[in-house]
Each structure stands twice: as structure tokens, then as C-alpha cells.
A and B are shown apart, each in its own frame.
Chain A
Amino acid sequence: MEGKRHVLSILVENEPGVLSRVAGLFSGRGFNIESLNVGPTLDRGMSIMTITTFGDEQIIEQIVKQLRKLVTTIKVVDLTEHISVEREMVLLKVNAEDSRRAEILRIVDIFRCKVVDVSPEELTIEATGDRGKISAIFSMLQRFGIKEIARTGTVALKRSLQD
């Protein structure tokens, strides 16, 4: 994917069809979505979406303007322009024969992950963190054999104190 990574935080009316309007805007124009996350906000009438995408400045400007143009969009912030907190949660199912289990658990400990399911052959691990941490966990666990993963995609908020 070309260009810089951008994290867009989009506040929308909580109405049927909103998600497909936003997603359709990306696909209809050939923009790529890397990850997309949606959930309700404190105000039940609104939802917040976090979309990570790639593009040069001109493309991102178009994406942001197009998103703002949707009748159901309340606010769009490109978090890349701000200091923000980013998190993603990943569930990883890892091969874990007896001989390697202790080693895996040590890594889980170091990264402050959690084991959420166990079987004689596998461990399922919950990991939360920013992109750097998630990819570090990934590479540490890869050599044991990762059998399955599920990721939530990035969620992000602007930090309260900006410089």
C-alpha cells in the first residue's frame, strides 16, 4: 500500500446503513481500508468508527472531505495530525506442546498478555497494545506456530493533553 498510514476517527449517526455508506465510499472510489472498527458512543444516537488507511496527502484529504460530505457524518478527525492513543486487541491460538509451554507463558508475561483458553496442544492468548507491541508479540510467537488469529482493528482516541 502506498503513502502514509492514517487513522481516521469518524463520528456518525447511529442509523441503519451508516456502515455501508462509509465502507461503500472507500470501495466505490478505490480507496483501501486496512482496518475498521465500529461501536456505540456515550450518546447512543451516535457511533464512532476508527478506520486505518493508507494514502498520500491528496488522497487522504479527499477521503476526509468525502466522509464529511456524507449526510450521516457528524465529525471526522485525522488522528495522524494529533497525539493519540491507539490500541488493538488480538486473539492468537498458538501451538503449545508441553516442552515449549513455559517459554510461551514467559513471553505472555513479559508482554502482559493473558491466556484465555487452554488445551493440551494449544494456548489462546489475548494481547492488547499499539501496533508496535502487537507486531512484537506476533514475531515472538511466530516460531511456535500461530494457528489462528482474530484482530479487532485499531481503536484510537486523541490524547487529552496536546502540546
Chain B
Amino acid sequence: MELTGAQILLECLKREGVDVIFGYPGGAVIDIYDELPKHPIQHILVRHEQGAIHAADGYARASGKTGCCLVTSGPGATNTVTGIATAYMDSIPVVIITGQVPTPLIGNDAFQEVDIVGITRSCTKHNYLVKDIKDLALTIRRAFYLAHTGRPGPVLVDLPKDIMQAKIKFVWPDDEAIKMRSYNPNIKPNKRQLQKIIELVKKAQRPVIYAGGGVISSNAAEDLTWLARKLHIPVTATLMGLGCFPADDPLWLGMLGMHGTFTANKAIQDSDLILALGARFDDRVTGKIAEFAPKAKLVHIDIDPTSIQKNVAVHVPMVADMGLALAEMRAIVESDLGAFDFVSAHEPWVKTTIDWDLEHPIKYTPPKKGEAVKPQYVVEKIYELTKGKAIIATEVGQNQMWAAQFYGFQAPRTFLSSGGLGTMGYGFPAAIGAQMAFPDQLVIDIAGDGSIQMNIQELATAVCYNLPVKIIILNNGFLGMVRQWQELFYKKNYCSTCMEAQPDFVKLAEAYGAAGFRVTRSRDVEKVLKEAFAIKKTVIVDVRVAQEENVYPMVPAGKSLGEMLLV
């Protein structure tokens, strides 16, 4: 039987395991929408295409599956670009389907035509324009294959309208057909190298594990935790790595980098062996590169060869899938008959890090009587009430850093944040995506008053699908993070960072059919959060927090990790 392109697309999506797709219709994709109700795929109608791509991304981060979104040509497609770049920077598997004008019109400046393949070339892992219906099924399969294998990333497929309407006999391409001679990611760890790494760990006195998002995306958190405990090595992580190791473990050092803990940054600077796992030495993490970990030998394992030796010289490089590498390493350690006493070897060092933590814990100055709520306190309360069991999305800015510092992440895929691109407006739609993946989980967006206004329209989406996402706005009336830089490095010239004419967030929530709360006193925080978490509804909690609170510790840009400003 012959199927139309639209039918083939949906059949392929179904077979790829897509059960939810985030999208927004338009003329170029109307044929797909016409077919959609006949397929077992739930379509979530967002209110802006940026919401669709972030939601697909949040769904992917939370669930480990590939996210999918569908938008129309031209403006629909360009509205997704920020979200595509966000997913690209954080290596998130998403497939973006964009409509395109009919093939005979391509290149003619037709109505709603845009060269989205050209526009997204540098922010997708790969992208396709399907010009022949014969290639459709294979292209969709390859898009999914590329998105989730190797270093994951967004893959875009641009579909002209006439291809959606054309008919052909449907053939599901088998696994053999999707292979490409030009794409063979190297995923197998080298056993000898792994043995060498274990030997290095035995010789090291001050080893540190520095884990990144790769540990989470390759589902290696459990093996990492096992190894860190067995080898008795303290663990720090990048923003993207939070949740890869339980924050209540004595070996946990906290996040490192610009707003990392004193202990983590100090441990890196004093370490004699760093195991960098699925992390890419971002400049927000390393500080001044020339002075990063001056005494350490560096081991770097990553799926992406271009990440290795990019910013820092590495002593033991290894290209491998982190899941396979750590599982193999665990097997070696488990079968090591001459059982080395890692605990005695590293205990003095672990003790040192614990002492540092006691001296300089992550902290803030509590408010004096009558002073405004401290944002850090709100995050602490969220942690306490959820016991670290919620899925936390964040926006970007101080709210993001306070979430990273004061919420103790216990499990992978519970922290969704735009790390690489730092996209304001990411958190709320990402939380919607995560809530779709886990309808019964508590999903919270920790937000700033600036960021939340970037995709506030998605309140309608959340309400429409009964998604009980909780938005906790740490409302400081400022674009706080920029204001902090202005305060510290630009003589308090608060140019254009004061958010005047704010909406009434409580009324706004109610206008959309969500619930709204306002908190102005510390003593009400806990009560209101409890109430908000208990309601089976989309909720905004507008917490008025201290306006000029800063994120500390802070390593000023361009300084070394040793040069922290403390509270």
C-alpha cells in the first residue's frame, strides 16, 4: 500500500518510539497535522516554537530518550534556533522536524521560506533537506540514529510540503540501511589505558574526579558512584554533571568553577591526579587555563575526540563512551585480586577536603529581622521539602547558580539547566517536557523574574495539559546576574538591569488558569512551598527576595580557581 510522506513520517516516528511530540502547526506542515490524530503520538501544542524545542530537550534530559518537535517553515523554523543551539551545546538528543515550502519553490524567496538547513548547520549535529520521498524513511531513521549515538545532539530534518503529499510504498529501513560509512563513533574503551588509569590512581595521593554531563547522558552515574567510593576519590562536577554523584556523600565536593565551592576549586588546584570524565573544560569551569590544576596529571575520557586536548594538555587521553568505560573500569577493579587499599591511600586527602568544607561551606548571610527573604534559603527549603527527589529545571542567572549550589542533587537526570549556551527562558518549557515524561513526579522550575518572562506564554500549555509544574520565581526585581557583574566590575552602573513594570505574577498565573502565591517573609516560605507542592495544578510562587544578593563564591572571569571571592 502506498502512503503519503506525512503518513510515512508519523509511521517512522512511532517506530522510533516517539510517544509525545511538541509542536506548532502552519501551512507547510498541515498535512502532517491532518494525519496526526490517527497515530498513537500525543501532540503538545505549545505557544511559541522556542517552547517546543526546549520542551523536547527537557523531555530528553529527564527521560534519556530522544526528544522530538515539529514546526512549520520560515518563522516556525527560525523560532527554534535558540533551542537547537541550547541542545547542541549540551549534547542533548532531539530531532527537529521543520516544514519547508514545496521543492519547486525552494530558493525562490517563496512565502515563509527560509534556508533552515543553512541557518542551523553550525548548531546541529547534522541536518537534512529531504528532496525525494524515496529518501524520507531512511532520513528519519538516520536522524534518530545520529541524535542519540556517539556524542548526542540535535538533528534537523527539513520536509518540503510536496514531499509530505507525495505517495510511495512504505519500507522501513533496517539497521543495516541506516549505517553510514562516514559515521563510526568510537565508543569502545581501551582496556590497557583503563588499567594504566587505575595504576595512576594507586600512585596518586590527592586524586579528584571531575565529572561532566557525559556521565549523565551515557547513564554512567551508578558506576561512577561505585568507583568513586571504592577508589575513595572525592568527586566534583560541572553544572551539567550535577546529580551524577549523590550530594549527601562525604566524598562530594560540590560543583567546581566560577561559582563552585571553595572545597571543589581548592581540591582541583591542589590535586595530583584529575580524572576528567565526560567534561569538556569549559572556561566557566577552568578559570584561567594556564593556572588550572597546576600540580595534576590529567586523565580525560570523552566520547568526542575534539573535546580532548582542546583547552588543556592531557596525560592520558581516551575516546570512549563513558558508560562502557566506567563499566569496564569497574570490572577491572572488581577482579583486581591484589586488592589495593585505596581507602588508606586516599584517606588523608579526603579528610583534608572535609576540613576545607567545614572551614568554608557553601553559605549565605541569613536576613536580619525585617529584611527580605534570602534566595538561597528558598532553594534550601525546596531541597528539604522534596528531599532531593524532585526534578529541578532552572532558568539562567543567579537563580540557576543558587539552585546548583543549595539543592543537593541525588540522582542523574534530575537537574535540567542550559549549561553551555546559558539560555534564559529554557527552564519553564524544559520543565513542561520533563513533566510530560514523568507525570507523577514533582517538577520545579527555579526561575528569575527576568528569565521567566522569556517564555511565560507556556503557562497556557502547562495549564491546558494539566501539567502541575511549579515555578518558583526568586524575584529580585533585577536581571540579577548581570547586576552582580555591574556591581562588582562596573562600579554599580546598573544600566538596564532593573526590571521595572513587572507583571503581577500572581494575577498572571490566575489569568492563565494556574495558581499563584506571593511570599515576602522568610517565615512564610516553607508553608507556601508546601501548599504549592500539594496542589495538582500549575503554580507560580513569586518570592520577593533580597534585591542585591550575590552569588558566592565567585571566581572572577579570567582569574584562576585559586582566586575566589568568598561570602
Contact = CB atoms under 8 A, between A and B. Distances in A.
Nearest to B183: A71
B198 interface: no
B496 interface: no
Interface residues of B, number: 17
Interface in A50-72: 58, 61-62, 65-66, 68-72
B306 A65 contact: yes
A24 interface: yes
B311 to A, nearest CB: 10
A68 B305 contact: yes
B182 A12 contact: yes
Contact of B182 (A28, A62, A66, A74): A74
A8 to B, nearest CB: 15
Interface string B134-168: 00000000000010000000000000000000000
Interface in B272-308: 304-306
A17 B182 CA distance: 15
Contacts of B125: 71
Contacts of B121: 17, 20-21, 24
B181 interface: yes
B369 interface: no
A19 B146 CA distance: 20
A54 B126 CA distance: 27
Nearest to A71: B126
Nearest to A29: B122
A71 B305 contact: no
A73 B125 CA distance: 13
A86 interface: no
B272 to A, nearest CB: 25
Dominant secondary structure of chain A at its interface with chain B: helix
B180 A65 contact: no
B89 to A, nearest CB: 14
B37 interface: no
A11 B197 CA distance: 35
B309 interface: yes
B304 A69 contact: yes
A16 interface: yes
A88 interface: no
Contacts of B370: none
A17 B310 CA distance: 27
A12 B121 CA distance: 16
A78 interface: no
A72 B182 contact: yes
Nearest to A17: B117
Which has the most chain A C-beta neighbours within 10 Å: B117, B118, B122, B304? B122
A66 B306 contact: yes
A17 B130 CA distance: 12
A62 B306 contact: yes
A13 interface: yes
Nearest to B142: A71
Which of A13, A28, A71, A72 has the most chain B CB atoms closer than 10 A to its own CB? A71
Nearest to A16: B129
A20 B129 CA distance: 14
12 contacts: A13-B182, A17-B118, A17-B121, A20-B121, A61-B309, A62-B306, A65-B305, A71-B126, A71-B146, A71-B180, A71-B182, A71-B183
5 closest pairs, A vs B, by CB? A71-B126, A65-B306, A74-B182, A65-B305, A28-B122
Given A20-B121, A28-B122, A74-B182, 5 more contacts: A13-B182, A58-B309, A62-B306, A69-B304, A71-B146
